[in-house]
Copies of this chain bind each other. A is one copy, B any other.
Amino acid sequence: MAPSETLTAERILEATEEVLRRHGPAKATVVDVARALGVSHGTVYRHFRTKATLREAVTKRWLDRTSQTLARFVTEDHDPETRLRHWLAGLFEAKRKKAGGDPELFATYSVLAEEAGEAVSDHIDELTDQLTEIVRAGVESGAFTVADPAVAARVVFQATGRFHDPSYAREWLKPGVEGEFEAMVELLVRGLR
Chain A residues in contact with chain B, CB under 8 A? 151-152, 154-156, 158-162, 167, 179-180, 183-184, 186-192
Contacts and interface: CB of A to CB of B under 8 A. Distances in A.
A154 B180 contact: yes
Q: How many copies does the complex hold?
A: 2
Contacts of A183: 151-152, 154-155
B180 A191 contact: no
27 contacts: A151-B183, A152-B183, A154-B180, A154-B183, A155-B180, A155-B183, A155-B184, A155-B187, A156-B187, A158-B159, A158-B162, A158-B180, A158-B184, A159-B160, A159-B162, A159-B184, A159-B187, A159-B188, A161-B161, A161-B162, A167-B167, A187-B188, A187-B191, A190-B190, A190-B191, A190-B192, A191-B191
A6 B114 CA distance: 47
Contacts of A189: 191
Among A167, A184, A191, find the residue whose CB has the most chain B CB atoms closer than 10 A: A191
Contacts of A156: 187
A112 B184 CA distance: 29
A128 B156 CA distance: 21
A20 B60 CA distance: 39
A111 B186 CA distance: 34
